[in-house]
Structure 1
Amino acid sequence: MVLRVETEQAGVMDMEAIVVFDIDGVIRDVGGSYRRALADTVEHFTQGAYRPSPEDIDALKAEGLWNNDWEASQELLYRYFEAQGRSREATATNPIRLDYDELVAFFQSRYRGTDPTHWTGYICQEPLLLRPAYLEQLTQAGILWGFFSGATTGSARYILEQRLGLQSPVLVAMEDAPGKPDPTGLLQTVRLLHGSDAAPVLYVGDTVADMHTIAKVRQVQPDRPWFAVGVLPPHVQKTEVNKQAYIATLQQAGAQVVYDNVQELTVEAIEKLVRG
């Protein structure tokens, strides 16, 4: 598969390109689902004393270390209790006692629902941020595409296959690779797409961890062109101040371009980016 790029000198130049998408905040709006479940979890385990705001969650994720929302919930809880003078160290006086498995179970009861077979939780209400026709346009242009996400396999496949109707898309999810910004999962996704070893790769994400993943993968494969593409999650676009601040955060983390919506990364935009 090739992406055809017109040039003044040569007429037509064949170039293969690969686009790998994050899912949360890029393919689906998780402001009322994952983020809501995260806030519910923190509120529950503080007995209602603290519910993190969207700004609190953004500030945590801007650190680039908390792509996993279970771990993000736990970290916000630790920080809340530490602010109350308690220690997260188990051997310290008055330690914080958090059962991680219990935390995950509560989070999932809100996000997926309490029925393990027929999901009824927040996941069922997630707005989609792209149409299948967009992906078909990439395919028609000869662009390979797949997904690398920190979401669980079940959650990712639910949105990709049941909601978007994709047939067995290439996916590397939480269970398949270390969490971002570790680039292992991105490299796995690229290999599964069977593209040329020299093909430029664009990774499309909405967080600092996504942008840092590109910085780290360049260290592993410095000879391949890697591009960091930022997308603004819907919740930060409600005010211009928040939007511009988030753009600056992604750019500081390495985003080469930032879009309001993933579908703005058109075939023409990909051509422009990979050609420099």
Structure 2
Amino acid sequence: MPPLIKAVLFDLDGVLVDVSRSYRRAIEETVEHFTGHKITPATIQRYKNAGGFNNDWKLTHTLILDLGIQVPLSRVVAEFQRRYRGEHWDGFIAQEPPLVGTQTLAQLRRQGYILGIVTGRPEAEARWTLERFGWRPYFPLLVAMEHQDGRGKPDPFPLQRALAMLEAAGLPVAPERAVYVGDSVDDMEAAQAAGLIPIGVVPPYLDLSQHAALLRERGAAHVLASTDDLPRLMAELEAIPAQRAL
């Protein structure tokens, strides 16, 4: 019997890879470069939890402006990327550890799901990361920053674009038969607005109980402590209709 849920879409940062010492570190160092102020991970997370800061360039620029320093966004992006991507892909991006095992992705494929990524990362950075971990064969679908027409999460457009791309490829998926796995309030709100099932994941660098409560408050239907728990949850979701039919 084919699965009731057809597609599992993932955010990348905080779900598939740990960005606590890559993107988050680039934010900290770029803010200090322009302002002389050291900001804490808690400050970054407070802005993230407020929503509307899925784009880390935008968040970094806002933090700098809020500290009273006027600087063009273009200069912020250049300084950020010098740290994050580096000259030859040797920046903080090269130090990101995975948050999911390849065996988990393989298990989800065996369970019959189409897998995809919907991320605010630039496409080159997303593809480089997939190649680095050997994950590219598992993800036939990638919706990156360049595919979002400036309408990043929490706007539902990136997820709607993902479903449109699947339909164009001959793999139509109704929104209610897809899940979106994310770690932020923007992820949960985007999934809800697009009609997908929102599944939250708490990355290891955040407090499990506090962040799980926040994700549920912002719409998560389920919250996991690890992305590796996803095959078990999907099996449980598939079993519910069968149990009701008994």
The two structures share one fold, judged by TM-score above 0.5? yes
What amino acid does structure 2 have at the position aligned with 1:173? A
Alignment of 1:70 with 2:35, yes or no, is no
CA distance in 1, matches of 2:29, 2:66: 16
Structure 1 residue runs of 5 or longer lacking an equivalent are 4-14, 82-95, 219-225, 237-241
1:57 Cα deviation from its structure 2 partner: 0.7
* 1:1-276 map, 5 Å: 2-3=2-3, 15-46=4-35, 48=36, 50-81=37-68, 96-113=69-86, 115=87, 118-167=88-137, 169-177=140-148, 178-193=151-166, 194-197=171-174, 200-218=177-195, 226-236=196-206, 242-266=207-231, 268-273=232-237, 275=240
1:263 Cα deviation from its structure 2 partner: 1.2
Larger radius of gyration: 1
Q: What TM-score does the superposition give when structure 2 sets the normalisation length?
A: 0.89
CA distance in 2, matches of 1:155, 1:51: 26
Deviates more, 1:187-196 or 1:203-212: 187-196
What amino acid does structure 2 have at the position aligned with 1:256? A
Name the counterpart of 2:244. none
CA distance in 2, matches of 1:212, 1:273: 21
1:169 Cα deviation from its structure 2 partner: 3.0
Cα–Cα, structure 1 residues 104 and 198, in superposed 2: closer, same or farther, change >3 Å? closer
Q: What TM-score does the superposition give when structure 1 sets the normalisation length?
A: 0.79
What amino acid does structure 1 have at the position aligned with 2:218? A
- Contact 1:42/1:51 (<8 A) preserved: yes
- Contact 2:11/2:119 (<8 A) preserved: yes
Percent identical among aligned pairs is 38
1:145 Cα deviation from its structure 2 partner: 1.1
SS of alignment partner, residue 179 of structure 2: strand
SS of alignment partner, residue 205 of structure 2: helix
- Contact 1:31/1:234 (<8 A) preserved: no
Structure 2 residue runs of 5 or longer lacking an equivalent are 242-246
- Contact 1:17/1:199 (<8 A) preserved: no
What amino acid does structure 2 have at the position aligned with 1:253? R
1:243 Cα deviation from its structure 2 partner: 2.4
1:16 Cα deviation from its structure 2 partner: 4.2
CA shift digits 1:98-142 (9 cap, x unpaired): 1111100000000011x2xx2110000000111222112111111
CA distance in 2, matches of 1:199, 1:253: 18
- Contact 1:64/1:212 (<8 A) preserved: no
What amino acid does structure 1 have at the position aligned with 2:27? L
- Contact 1:231/1:261 (<8 A) preserved: yes
CA distance in 1, matches of 2:13, 2:184: 10
CA shift digits 1:203-250 (9 cap, x unpaired): 0000110011022213xxxxxxx21111112211xxxxx322111111
Give the CA RMSD over aligned residues: 1.8
- Contact 2:200/2:224 (<8 A) preserved: yes
CA shift digits 1:142-199 (9 cap, x unpaired): 1111000011111111111232342363100111102101111112222333234376
Q: How many residues align?
A: 233
